[in-house]
């Protein structure tokens, strides 16, 4: 799937991914290839991305949105703690 993860200031991940696991307001979700379309809120937690090379990527989030689109495309817009 094509995955894009954005913060208000940066692009945090852009590329092909095998899976995305994150905390939504309704519980944890894992998104795989060709998932049904969905829009949901994200809550404080850790986003886990497994890319096409099987490398694990982790992004801490305070809150945000997850959009799963037709065409095997996933977008996250998140808020992060200031460093």
Tell whether the model's pLDDT for residue 45 goes beyond 90.
yes
Q: Domain map of the chain by residue range?
A: 2-74
Cα–Cα distance between 42 and 33 in angstroms, integer?
A: 20
Which pLDDT value is given to residue 34? 95
Give tens-digit pLDDT for 18-28. Answer: 999 999 999 99
Q: Which CATH number fits domain 2-74: 1.10.260.40, 3.40.50.800, 3.40.50.2300, 2.60.15.10?
A: 2.60.15.10
Query: Average pLDDT in the 13-41 region?
Result: 96
Tell whether the model's pLDDT for residue 83 goes beyond 70.
no
- Rounded to two decimals, the pTM is 0.91
Query: Average pLDDT in the 46-66 region?
Result: 96
Residues contacting 81, CB < 8 A, separation 6+? 60, 62
Tell me the pLDDT of the chain averaged across its residues: 95
Cα–Cα distance between 27 and 56 in angstroms, integer?
A: 21
Helices and strands per DSSP (H, E), number in the chain: 0, 8
User: For the stretch 50-64, what's the b/e string if a residue is b when 16 or more beta carbons lie within 10 angstroms of its beta carbon?
Assistant: beeeeeebebebeeb
Tell whether the model's pLDDT for residue 82 goes beyond 80.
no
């Amino acid at each position: 799937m094509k995955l894009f993860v954005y913060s208000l200031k940066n692009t945090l991940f852009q590329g092909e991914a095998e899976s995305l696991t994150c905390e939504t307001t309704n519980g944890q979700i894992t998104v795989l290839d060709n998932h049904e379309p969905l829009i949901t809120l994200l809550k404080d937690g850790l986003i886990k991305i497994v890319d096409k090379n099987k490398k694990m990527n982790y992004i801490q989030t305070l809150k945000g949105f997850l959009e799963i689109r037709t065409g095997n495309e996933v977008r996250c817009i998140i808020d992060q703690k200031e460093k």
